[in-house]
Structures are given as structure tokens and as C-alpha cells.
Amino acid sequence: MGESSNLHSTGFITLSLTHTTIFAIHSRFYPALRRRTAAIQKRDERKIKASVVATKLWGVNMWIIPHT
């Protein structure tokens, strides 16, 4: 059992490395793709920031309402 899970994680690491390499090659040869990816990343970062702010506000509200 232990051997199969070890093999699985090794396979996963190999797969992700291969994917990263392919993506790096793609990015080098397709600057437009890289720009689009950067735009998507920025959009995702904004979404994450918005959700963090919303979570913080919700947490503050959950604390204030019972204490007033």
C-alpha cells in the first residue's frame, strides 16, 4: 500500500513538472498567450482580494452585532 501511494505522488510530481515545462515553452513562443495569462492572473488576484475583504467584513459584522 505504501509503495503505491509513493509511486502515485512521484507520478504527480513528474506530471506537474512536465506541464510546467510545456507551459514555459508555450509562454516563450507565444507572448500573447503570456500576456493573456497575466491578465487572467490579475483578474483572479482581484477576485481573491475581494473575497478576502468580504470575509473580513463579514467577520467584523459577526463580532460587532452580538456585542452591541
Of 48, 51, 29, nearest to 40 (Cα)? 48
Please tell me the predicted confidence (pLDDT) of residue 26.
66
pTM score: 0.36
- More confident: 14 or 51: 51
63 vs 59: CA distance, rounded Å? 6
Please tell me the predicted confidence (pLDDT) of residue 27.
64
What angle (nearest 5°) sits at the alpha carbon of residue 41, between those of residues 58 and 53? 10
What would the mean pLDDT of 6-18 be, rounded to a whole number? Answer: 70
Overall number of domains in the chain: 1
- Domain extent at residue 35: 2-67
12 vs 68: CA distance, rounded Å? 51
pLDDT in tens, 16-62: 777 778 777 766 777 776 678 888 889 888 888 888 888 888 888 77
